[in-house]
Amino acid sequence: MPRMSREVTEQHRRQVVENTSRLIREKGPERVTVPEAMASAGLSHGGFYRHFASKDDLLAQALTAAFTERRTAMDQIAEESTAPDAPPAHDAFLAVYLSELHRDHPADGCPAAAVAADAARAEPGSPLRTSFTAGVRDLAEGLHRLNGSSGRDADAGDRPLAELALLVGAVLLARASDDASLSRDILDEARGLLRDRTAQEPALPEEPFAG
């Protein structure tokens, strides 16, 4: 049987990473098995080490991919905010991030909110924790850009790390609550605290979370 081409091998690796990035956000890294990750891309368990050095290697790559996906979406919001009559980038982002759709679709959402507890339990210097730390820095830089796109500066409250902490904490609490009213209030109050008070808040998205 002919050996797989490098292009096919790389395609398979990307498929496994992309699918695993959704699985770890939905279930948590510790609950994702190697057979499950490979099967999610239609591949057998036996080919795992052709693509990854270890399960930790796969998890770190999957988490990095999840953060890259979120940052790309943030940059897209910043670009779209330049269109005529578009809402400020910062407010548009808050409407998406602090929405019930994001709360209810962790597999498609922010890895900082989905994997924070797992990263906190991981050993310092572990691949998962290292990937998480780099991702948090990148999201904070994305928030800084969104604030700049909305004309906000340091005096107007550009504190991206503090803002990211509030965003992630709000989503975590909203997901953990079994009281629907309390869960909505957490998201609404966090959004109200963070948004530009002088701008009209954009409507919540009607499509599955993509911000």
Domains and CATH numbers, the chain: 54-194 (1.10.357.10)
Question: Mean pLDDT over all residues of the chain?
Answer: 88
Structure confidence at residue 173 (pLDDT): 98
pLDDT single digits (tens) 155-201: 445 789 999 999 999 999 999 999 999 999 999 999 999 985 434 44
- Tokens coding 90: 């910062």
Q: Which of 35-49, 70-84, 85-99, 188-202 has the lowest mean pLDDT?
A: 188-202
Instruction: Please report, for residues 65, 76, 107, the alpha-carbon distance to residue 59 in angstroms, rounded to integers and kept in the order given.
Output: 10, 26, 14
> Per-residue pLDDT tens for 189-201?
999 999 854 344 4
Q: Which residue has the higher pLDDT, 50 or 111?
A: 111
d(CA 141, CA 163): 11
In angstroms, the CA 118 to CA 59 distance is 12
Q: What is the pLDDT of residue 155?
A: 46
Can you tell me whether residue 167 is helix, strand or coil?
Answer: helix
Structure pTM? 0.85
